[in-house]
């Protein structure tokens, strides 16, 4: 028995009471059968879109894909996508069917789907409908095309990335026939929009073991990210870079910025080149969201090397910030030896415990304190605060008000900013310099 939330049961019950057949399909069913936490709920029915809209009312329906038979029903605030059984015509644009024909049979609807693990249906009356062996493929942990793999990938290039994404997310293998076909039809990827490419890639890189799939399908990734095409040139350097990328991708935690930072670090000769490559791919090529780009660039601001001294740890903090430093640690630990990793963790932890200020606003003195010393407002105040920050950060001065004020007075005296007498031509007076 499949467990469904009440919001989905209400939609199914309403359709059935009105004489329609309806089945749970797609990822929710697949993930439930695997014991995974399911996501969005998709239903398939013989009801036409106009029937669904009429039954649930315009207030609770969204015409999200009427052309292809899909209507979203809002049930208890949860979106339920309801799609009419259909068959599809030819894919002239290598992405979308030229036409769809509505059907009354769920089995025929399942036969049009991309992969067997997505081509199952269930309802309480009929149980599991599995015309193409999806349940067996779940048990064998493999991604297999419905029907002829050449036809599936030639129809829609997005399916190439979907096959890799599902294999990565579910930690499945790809059926040999499908694997051979997807490598032959990489040209179909030219017809896939950039947002769809990024959607699939972002899920792929957050999967269980994306590295092994990345290294074994370099032509696919080169097709959607031409900046990585050099990995396919069969040179020893490229082979080593791809091997390093595979190992690093599989070793770091399942976090998108960490995985991307690992990829660019592995294939670039240094951190500067890695940052440049990341910008080119994430911003210019894939037009990813700003938060992801910033997170990746922050991780690439400091080399992925072992920390050997507190000064190096402080330099890391200054470059990337306190929170990103912990993410950076997750990036580098997998490529360090046990001894290097333990030393890096210990040094970074010790420096973090000092709670060093990372900008002048975190100093124990402010610009107003310098004015109280007799310093007139001006650029000198910023220069002094910046110098004090460097001193504290380097461990040469505690972040304590008396110590900072004493050092500020000495700095002012050395720059002749405090004179023994008051002068209108100077920026500071010594009238109130006691600490």
Residue 68 covered by a domain = yes
CATH number at residue 65: 3.30.460.10
User: pLDDT band for position 302 (50/70/90)?
Assistant: very high
Would the pLDDT of 305 be above 90?
A: yes
Residue 218: count of CB within 10 angstroms of its CB: 20
Q: How confident is the model at residue 93, as a pLDDT?
A: 58
Q: Which of 73, 105, 133 is the last residue of a domain?
A: 133
Give me the residue label for tokens 């064998």. Answer: 140
Residue 15 covered by a domain = yes
The DSSP code sequence of 43-112 is: EEESS-HHHHHHHH-GGGEEEEEGGGTEEEEEETTEEEEEEE-EEE---TTSSS-S-EEE-S-HHHHHTT
Residue 181 covered by a domain = no
> Exposed (0-12), middle (13-18) or buried (19+): which is 103, by Cβ within 10 Å?
middle
User: pLDDT band for position 168 (50/70/90)?
Assistant: very high
User: pLDDT band for position 435 (50/70/90)?
Assistant: very low
**What range defines the domain where residue 364 resides?**
360-418
Residue 407 covered by a domain = yes
Would the pLDDT of 434 be above 90?
A: no
- In angstroms, the CA 317 to CA 187 distance is 44
User: pLDDT band for position 425 (50/70/90)?
Assistant: very low
Closest to 172 (Cα-Cα) out of 30, 22, 45 = 30
Q: Express each pLDDT in 322-381 by its tens digit.
A: 889 999 999 999 999 999 999 999 999 988 887 878 778 888 889 888 888 877 788 888
Q: How confident is the model at residue 351, as a pLDDT?
A: 85
Q: Which of 70, 99, 133 is the last residue of a domain?
A: 133
Would the pLDDT of 232 be above 80?
A: yes
* Range in 65-69, 139-143, 177-181 the model is least confident about: 65-69
Closest to 320 (Cα-Cα) out of 336, 343, 297, 304 = 297
Would the pLDDT of 76 be above 90?
A: yes
Residue 349 covered by a domain = no
As for how many domains the chain has, the answer is: 2
* Range in 154-168, 307-321, 323-337 the model is least confident about: 307-321
Structure tokens at 387: 């110098």
- In angstroms, the CA 309 to CA 315 distance is 10
Residue 277 covered by a domain = no
User: pLDDT band for position 423 (50/70/90)?
Assistant: very low
Residue 323 covered by a domain = no
Of residues 50 and 97, which shows the higher confidence score? 50
3-state DSSP assignment of residue 365: coil
Residue 94: count of CB within 10 angstroms of its CB: 18
Average pLDDT, the chain: 90
Q: What angle do CA 18, 24, 26 make, to 5 degrees?
A: 140
* Range in 209-213, 288-292, 333-337, 396-400 the model is least confident about: 396-400
pTM of the predicted protein model: 0.83
- In angstroms, the CA 141 to CA 132 distance is 15
* Range in 32-36, 81-85, 313-317 the model is least confident about: 313-317
Residue 382 covered by a domain = yes
Q: Which of 133, 151, 185 is the last residue of a domain?
A: 133
Whether the Cβ atoms of residue 208 and residue 168 lie closer than 8 Å to each other: yes
């Amino acid at each position: 028995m499949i467990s469904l939330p009440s919001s989905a049961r209400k939609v199914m019950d309403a359709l059935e009471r009105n004489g329609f057949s309806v089945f749970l399909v797609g990822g929710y069913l697949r993930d439930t059968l695997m014991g995974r936490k399911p996501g969005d709920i998709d239903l398939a029915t013989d009801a036409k879109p106009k029937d669904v809209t009429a039954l649930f009312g315009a207030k609770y329906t969204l015409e999200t894909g009427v052309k292809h038979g899909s209507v979203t029903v809002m049930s208890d605030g949860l979106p339920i996508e309801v799609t009419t059984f259909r068959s599809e015509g030819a894919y002239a644009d290598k992405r979308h069917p030229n036409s769809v024909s509505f059907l009354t049979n769920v089995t025929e609807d399942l036969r049009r789907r991309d992969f067997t693990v997505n081509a199952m249906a269930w309802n309480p009356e009929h149980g599991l409908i599995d015309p193409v062996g999806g349940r067996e493929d779940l048990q064998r942990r493999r991604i297999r095309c419905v029907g002829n793999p050449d036809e599936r990938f030639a129809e829609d290039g997005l399916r190439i990335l979907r096959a890799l994404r599902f294999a990565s997310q579910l930690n499945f293998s790809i059926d040999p026939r499908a694997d051979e076909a997807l490598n032959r039809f990489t040209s179909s990827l030219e017809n896939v929009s950039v947002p769809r490419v990024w959607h699939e890639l972002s899920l792929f890189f957050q999967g269980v073991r994306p590295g092994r799939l990345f290294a074994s399908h370099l032509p696919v990734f080169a097709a959607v990210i031409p900046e990585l095409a050099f990995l396919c040139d069969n040179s020893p350097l490229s082979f080593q870079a791809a091997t390093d990328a595979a190992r690093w991708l599989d070793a770091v935690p399942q976090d998108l910025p960490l995985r991307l930072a690992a990829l660019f670090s592995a294939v670039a000769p240094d951190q500067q080149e890695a940052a440049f490559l990341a910008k080119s791919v994430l911003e210019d090529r894939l037009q990813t969201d700003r938060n992801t780009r910033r997170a990746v660039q922050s991780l690439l601001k400091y080399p992925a090397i072992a920390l050997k001294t507190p000064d190096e740890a402080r330099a890391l903090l200054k470059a990337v910030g306190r929170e990103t430093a912990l993410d950076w640690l997750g990036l580098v630990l997998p490529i360090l030896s046990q001894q290097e990793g333990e030393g890096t963790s210990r040094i970074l932890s010790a420096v973090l415990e000092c709670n060093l200020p990372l900008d002048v606003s975190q100093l124990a003195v402010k610009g107003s304190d310098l004015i109280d010393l007799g310093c007139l407002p001006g650029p000198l105040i910023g220069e002094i605060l910046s110098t004090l920050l460097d001193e504290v950060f380097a461990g040469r001065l505690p972040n304590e008000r008396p110590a900072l004020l004493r050092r500020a007075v000495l700095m002012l005296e050395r720059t002749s900013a405090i004179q023994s007498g008051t002068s209108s031509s100077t920026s500071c007076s010594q009238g109130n310099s006691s600490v």
